Structure 1
Amino acid sequence: MNSKLRPAEGPGGGSVGGSTRGWAGRRYTAILAASLLACAGMLLAEAIPLAPQDTNPVFNAIGKRMPPDAAPLEFQTYRFMRDEPRSLDVSVNLYVGQWNEFLFETLVAKDENGDLIPAAADRWEVSADGKTWTFYLRKTGRWSDGRPVTAHDFVYTFRRSLSYETANPYAAFYSDIVGATTYSQTPNADPEMLGVRAVDDHTLTFETTHPAPYLGLILSVPTSMPVPRWQVEKHGPRWTEEGNCVTNSSYRLTEWKHGSHMNFELDPYYDGPIKGYVEKIHRVFRHPSTANLLPYENDEVGFAEVQANELIRVQRDPELSSELVSNPTDGTWYIFFNTRKPPFDDARVRRAIARAIDRETICRVVLHGAAVPAYSMLPVTFDAHDDYKAYQEFDPEQARKLLAEAGYPGGRGFPVMEMWLRQPRPDIRMVAEVIQGMLREHLGIGITFRSADYPVFTNYMFNWNIDLGMVPFFGDYRDPKNMLDMIWRPGTRGRSRHDFEHAEFEALLDAADQELDPGRRTEIIRRAERFLVGEAGAAFVFHPMANHLFKPWLRGLKTNRFGGKTVIFTDLYIGEDFPGAR
C-alpha cells in the first residue's frame, strides 16, 4: 500500500476540490447531517439510560478492584462443604488434601477451558526438539511469611515428592522427566539424576526423555505445587497445620479446627496474576456420604453438587431448576480387577462381567440421566475419544458363554467376591447394588461390598490388594497421557494404580510418546485403548455429567467451551443480592 496521502476521489473518480460553489454545498450538507445526528443522540440519551459508572471503586485487602455488582467487603466470604483433609501436603499425596489446591501456586495454571495461563512463572519456552521446558519465575513472588519464591523451591519440591522414600502415588505422573522413574523407584537415589534444574533464582528447566507437549499441563496440577523447605524440615508431616503452614498463593491458612472447619484469608504478600476477590474462604467439614442440598437451600453455601437421587426433585422445582447447570465431565466410573490372580487373571471372566452390565438402564433409571454409558476410559471431552461399544456392550447371552468357557457355567464354582467402594455416596451405592443384581441374574455369581475411606482405599488399591473394586477417575488435564498412560501403564506394586499388563498396549503407549504429529498420535492412542477395552482391563460403567447448583448471588463463574460453569476459587465473589447484603 502507498503510504503517501492522495486527494479524496469523487463519485466519478475525479479528485474532490475545484469549485468553491461545490465545496460550499457539501459543507452545508455536512453541517445539516451533523446537526441531525446530534439531535438523534440527545433523544437516544433520554430514552436509554446510561450504565451506572463505578465512581467509588472498592478494593479488597490485597488491592484487587471489586466488580461494581459485588456485595460490601464484610460479606465477601465464600463458604463450601467437604470432608476434612488429613493434610494439605498434596504434592506428595493428592488424595489426602483435595479441595485446598487454591493455597499453593504452580508454575502455570489453567483457565476455565483447561488452557495454560501464567502463575508463579510469568513466561516459559519449549525447545525445538520438545524436550526442554524453561520457566521464568516472577521475580516479586513471595511466600506468606515474606520469603522470596525461587526456582530452588520447585527443585526441592520435585526431589522430595518423587523420591522413593516419599512413595508418592502420583510419581508415575512425572515419568516423562529425565531420571524420574529410576529416582522414584530407587532407595536413597541421588537427586541430581532428576531432570529438574534451577539455572538461577528465577529460571527453572525440565528435561524430558521424549517430546512431551502436555508437560505444561502436568505442571499445572496440584501435585506440582511447591512447598516451603524450611517449614517441612522444621515441622515434618505437621508443616501444613495451623501456625506452621506457609503458602505462596492468593490465600493463606488462618485456622484449622479439626473435626469442624478451616478458614483462609487473602495473603498480603501475594502480588501475582491470580489474585482472589473474596476476603475469606470458609470450609466446613462434612463426609460425602451425608451430603445433601439443605445447606444450599438455606443459603449457607453458594454452590452444590446434585446427586442422582436428588436430580429429579431439582428438575421439578421451579427455583432450583433455574439454578441448575449440567455439562459433561472429564471422568469415568469403572470396575477394576486384580488381573494377576484367579479368577480375574482370565480375560474371559472380565469380559463376561463387562457384558453383564446394562449401562443404559443404570444411567437412565438409577442415575436419572446424570451420566452417560461408558464403554472406554476416555470420555467425550477428550479429542481421542472413540466408540468402543461393540467390545463391552450389554449382552447377557455372550456374558454367560464367556463365563462358561472360563470354567464357571451358570456361575458354578465362582467364588463370592468382595467389591470395594470408596466413600460411596448414596447414588453410587445404588449403582453398585444394581450391578450386584445384574451379575447374580445374568451370570449366577455373587458379590458383597466393603466401604473404605480415601486413604485406606487408595493404599489397598495401589498395593494391588483389591480383587474387585469400583472407583472413578477424573482427568487432571485433557490429554490421553493422563487417563490412559498414568492409570493403566504397567508399573510396580505400591506405585501404580492398577496391575493390568498387556505388551501391545504398552508398546503403543511408548509409540505415542515418540510421535510428534497430533493426528498420528491420536490414532495410536485409539489403538492402545482398543486393547484396554477389548481385554477388559476394566469394565467401564459410566461417564458422569456434572450437575451443579449455583446461587444467583455467587458471581465470577466462567462458562467453559462445553457450556458448563467452571469453579475457580480466585474468580468467585459474592454479589450485591446476597441475602443480608441488600
Structure 2
Amino acid sequence: MKISQKLLFLPVLILFSSIVSTAVNAEMVIHRGNGAEPETLDIHKSTGVPEANIQRDLFEGLISEAADGSLIPGAAESWATSEDAKLWTFKLRQNGKWSDGTQVTANDFLNGFQRALLPATASEYAFILWPIKNAKAISKGEINDINDLGVKAVDDFTLEIALENPTPFLTGLLSHHMAYPVPVAKIKEHGKKWTRPGNLISNGPYQLADWKPQSKIILTKNPHYRDHDAIEVDNVYFHPIEDKATELKRFRADELDITDDVPSDQIAWVKKNLGDAFRNTPYIGTYYLAMNLEQAPFKDNLALRKALSFAIDRNILTDKVTKAGELPGLGWVPPGMNGYTSQTIPELALEKKERVALAKKLYEEAGYSKDKPLEVELLYNTSENHKKIAIALSAMWKQTLGVKVSLRNEEWKVYLNSRSQKQFQLIRSGWIGDYNDASNFLDLFRSDVGTINPSGYKNQNYDKLLKQAEIETDAKQRAEFMQSAEKLLLADMPLIPIYYYTTQHLLNPKIKGWEDNVMDIHPTRYLAK
C-alpha cells in the first residue's frame, strides 16, 4: 500500500522545524588548549599562567582587562585618589553578583586581601600586594592584627585602599588574581575543597561546571554576571595538554579552537600550511634558567655561574630551536616596559670567539676542566619545546666546557613543588609580567619574597635599591634606582637569561574578538565563533 503524500509531508515539516529550532538554540562552545593541568584554582595558592587563564574567566577584580589587554573598570565602576596618591577609594557596581546570585560587596574584597596576606595562607604571591599599607609586615608575621591592613570596607559598595607609598602601577596590580574577592562563607564551609565544582562560586563572566583532572575544565556563563546577555560563548572547555605535538594534532582535528602554544619544530610548516590560523606576537616575559644558590655547585661560585651563561649561543637557540621570533635574552627585564630601559650583561655582546674564551677561563677559575668536568642536573616542566631547549643547552655546555648535564622533567604540579622547595640545581623557568612595570620582574629576586624567589638570591644592596624605587615619586629617578638594581642582579648572576618571549597560538579562523597584545590576555567573554 502506498503512503499518502499528505502523511509524508507532516513529518518532514516537523523535522525541518526541529532543525531550525536546534540551530537557533545551539550553545556556543569554545575549546582552549591550556598547556598544563592547573595546580589549583585557589586564587591565593596558584602561581602559573595555566591557572591564571581560567581564573581570569571565573573572577573579576576591581580592575579588569579589555580584549586588547588594556585596563578597564571591573567590579569597581569608578575610583578616586587622594592628593598624595596614597589613598584610593573604589566605588563598586551595585549589580555585581556572585554566581549563586548573592551580592558582591566591599567586604568580599576586604576578605580577599586579608586572606592573601595572612601567614597561614602561605601565598607565594603575597609580595604582589606589599604596596598596601602594612601588607608586608602582616604577611611576614610582624603585625598580628589583620585589621591593621590598609584596606577598609566603608560600606557595601565603597572600598578604601591605603598605600605605603604612591604606586603608579596600582591599577595593573589590582587586575591580578591576588586582588580578586573571595566568597569567605564558602571557604569556611568547604575548606580546601572550596574550589571544586559545586562548591566554587565566582563573580566573573563564567562559573565552574566541571573539572576532570588531566582531561578538561568546563566553565559555563555566570547567569548573574552584569554583562551576561552580551557574552556570546556559553561554555568554554580548558584542555590541559602538555605535549605540543598532541595539541597541534587536536587543533587540526577540529578538537581545539585555540592552542596554548605551537611545537617549535613545526612553526615553519604551520606558517606555510596554517598561516591564517597562526598568531605570533611579542610578549612581556623572559625565559631563563635559575641556579640554586643555597647549595653546591652554584653557591658562592660566581665564576661558574658566569661560565655557563657565557658558553650559551642564544642566537642559535632563537634561530634554530625556538624559531618564533624570540629575541636573545641579554638581561632580566624584557624590553618594552613602561618608562624603563632594560639593562644587559656586557659580556654577552662580545664576539662569539671572545665570549667562549672567557667562559673557558671562568670555568677553570671555578675549579673545573674537561678532565674534571662539572656534573649538573637541569630540571624542566614537561614540554617538548622545553626539552629541545634543554638538550641544546646541554650540547653547548658539553662542547664548549665539557660539562656533563643530566635532564629531569616533571609534570607541572610536581615541578612547581620542586621549584618552591629548591629541590633542583638548575631549573628552567619563565616569568611573565603581571602588569607592565619593571618592578614586577625585579621584585622576584628580593631576599624577602620567600620561596617564589627561584634561586634564593640575597643581596642587601639590591633590596635597598628596590626599596628606594618604592618610595621615589619622580619617575626618572625611580627608573634609575631600578636600573641600578638590575645591573647588580646581572653582575651577581643568580639567573641565566635565555630569550625574551613571543607568544604562539593557533586560532580557529572562525573565532571573533581575539586581539593580540603584549600581555597575551584573551578573556573568553570577548570571543565568539
The 3 A distance-change label for structure 1 pair 481 and 261 is same
* Alpha-carbon distance in 1 for matches of 2:483, 2:526: 36
Superposition deviation, residue 539 in structure 1: 0.9
Counterpart position of 1:456: 414
- Write the mapping of 1:17-32 to structure 2, written as runs, cut at 5 A: none
Give secondary structure in 2 for the equivalent of 1:165.
helix
Aligned counterpart in structure 2 of residue 477 of structure 1, from 414, 430, 435: 435
2:499 counterpart of 1:546: no
* Alpha-carbon distance in 2 for matches of 1:505, 1:257: 44
Comparing 91-100 with 76-85, greater Cα deviation is found at 91-100
Superposition deviation, residue 75 in structure 1: 4.8
- Write the mapping of 1:119-518 to structure 2, written as runs, cut at 5 A: 119-186=74-141, 189-272=144-227, 276-288=231-243, 291-304=246-259, 305-317=261-273, 320-344=274-298, 345-383=300-338, 384-386=340-342, 388-393=344-349, 395-408=355-368, 410-423=369-382, 425-485=383-443, 487-491=444-448, 493-494=450-451, 496-518=453-475
Give secondary structure in 2 for the equivalent of 1:548.
strand
Give secondary structure in 2 for the equivalent of 1:399.
helix
Counterpart position of 2:5: none
Q: Structure 2 counterpart of 1:490, which letter?
A: S
Larger Rg: 1
CA contact (8 A) 1:490 1:496 kept: yes
Q: CA offsets, 1:267-298, max 9 Å, x none? A: 22111599532121123343346643122222
The 3 A distance-change label for structure 1 pair 565 and 407 is closer
Superposition deviation, residue 154 in structure 1: 1.0
The 3 A distance-change label for structure 1 pair 129 and 366 is same
- Write the mapping of 1:105-120 to structure 2, written as runs, cut at 5 A: 105-120=60-75
Counterpart position of 1:91: 44
Counterpart position of 1:80: 32
Measured on the aligned residues, the alpha-carbon RMSD in Å equals 2.4
| Structure 2 alignment gaps of length 5 or more | 1-22
CA contact (8 A) 1:89 1:240 kept: yes
Give secondary structure in 2 for the equivalent of 1:148.
coil
Q: Structure 2 counterpart of 1:89, which letter?
A: D
Superposition deviation, residue 114 in structure 1: 3.8
The 3 A distance-change label for structure 1 pair 182 and 291 is farther
Comparing 551-560 with 534-543, greater Cα deviation is found at 551-560
The 3 A distance-change label for structure 1 pair 301 and 258 is same
The 3 A distance-change label for structure 1 pair 572 and 399 is same
Provide TM-score, normalisation by structure 1: 0.80
Superposition deviation, residue 456 in structure 1: 2.6
CA contact (8 A) 2:39 2:412 kept: no
* Alpha-carbon distance in 1 for matches of 2:449, 2:327: 33
Q: Structure 1 counterpart of 2:278, which letter?
A: L
* Alpha-carbon distance in 2 for matches of 1:392, 1:157: 44
CA contact (8 A) 1:332 1:543 kept: yes
Identity over the aligned pairs, expressed in percent? Answer: 28
Superposition deviation, residue 152 in structure 1: 0.6
* Alpha-carbon distance in 2 for matches of 1:354, 1:275: 51
Superposition deviation, residue 451 in structure 1: 1.3
* Alpha-carbon distance in 1 for matches of 2:143, 2:107: 20
CA contact (8 A) 1:80 1:301 kept: yes
Q: Structure 2 counterpart of 1:542, which letter?
A: Y
* Alpha-carbon distance in 2 for matches of 1:227, 1:565: 25
Give secondary structure in 2 for the equivalent of 1:149.
coil
CA contact (8 A) 2:218 2:236 kept: yes
The 3 A distance-change label for structure 1 pair 510 and 286 is same
Give secondary structure in 2 for the equivalent of 1:432.
helix
The 3 A distance-change label for structure 1 pair 257 and 339 is closer
* Alpha-carbon distance in 2 for matches of 1:276, 1:334: 38
Give secondary structure in 2 for the equivalent of 1:329.
strand
* Alpha-carbon distance in 1 for matches of 2:346, 2:242: 38
CA contact (8 A) 1:210 1:513 kept: yes
* Alpha-carbon distance in 2 for matches of 1:270, 1:493: 36
Q: CA offsets, 1:12-63, max 9 Å, x none? A: xxxxxxxxxxxxxxxxxxxxxxxxxxxxxxxxxxxxxxxxxxxxxxxxxxxx
User: Which aligned runs of 4 or more in structure 1 are off by greater than 4 angstroms?
Assistant: 272-275, 411-415
Q: Structure 2 counterpart of 1:77, which letter?
A: V
* Total equivalences in the alignment: 497
Provide TM-score, normalisation by structure 2: 0.88
Counterpart position of 2:477: 520
Q: Structure 2 counterpart of 1:531, which letter?
A: L
Q: Structure 1 counterpart of 2:281, which letter?
A: N
Give secondary structure in 1 for the equivalent of 2:53.
coil
Q: Structure 1 counterpart of 2:138, which letter?
A: Y
Comparing 378-387 with 364-373, greater Cα deviation is found at 378-387
Between Structure 1 and Structure 2, the one with more helix by share is 2
Give secondary structure in 1 for the equivalent of 2:161.
strand
Give secondary structure in 1 for the equivalent of 2:247.
coil
Superposition deviation, residue 219 in structure 1: 1.0
Give secondary structure in 2 for the equivalent of 1:313.
helix
CA contact (8 A) 1:169 1:496 kept: no
* Alpha-carbon distance in 2 for matches of 1:187, 1:166: 15
| Structure 1 alignment gaps of length 5 or more | 1-70, 575-582
Counterpart position of 2:15: none
CA contact (8 A) 2:244 2:263 kept: no
Q: CA offsets, 1:427-459, max 9 Å, x none? A: 211111111111122122212111123333223
Q: CA offsets, 1:318-363, max 9 Å, x none? A: xx11322221111111111122433312211111111010000111
* Alpha-carbon distance in 1 for matches of 2:243, 2:432: 17
CA contact (8 A) 1:120 1:272 kept: no
* Alpha-carbon distance in 1 for matches of 2:219, 2:406: 42
* Alpha-carbon distance in 2 for matches of 1:469, 1:246: 36
Superposition deviation, residue 420 in structure 1: 1.2
* Alpha-carbon distance in 2 for matches of 1:548, 1:144: 30
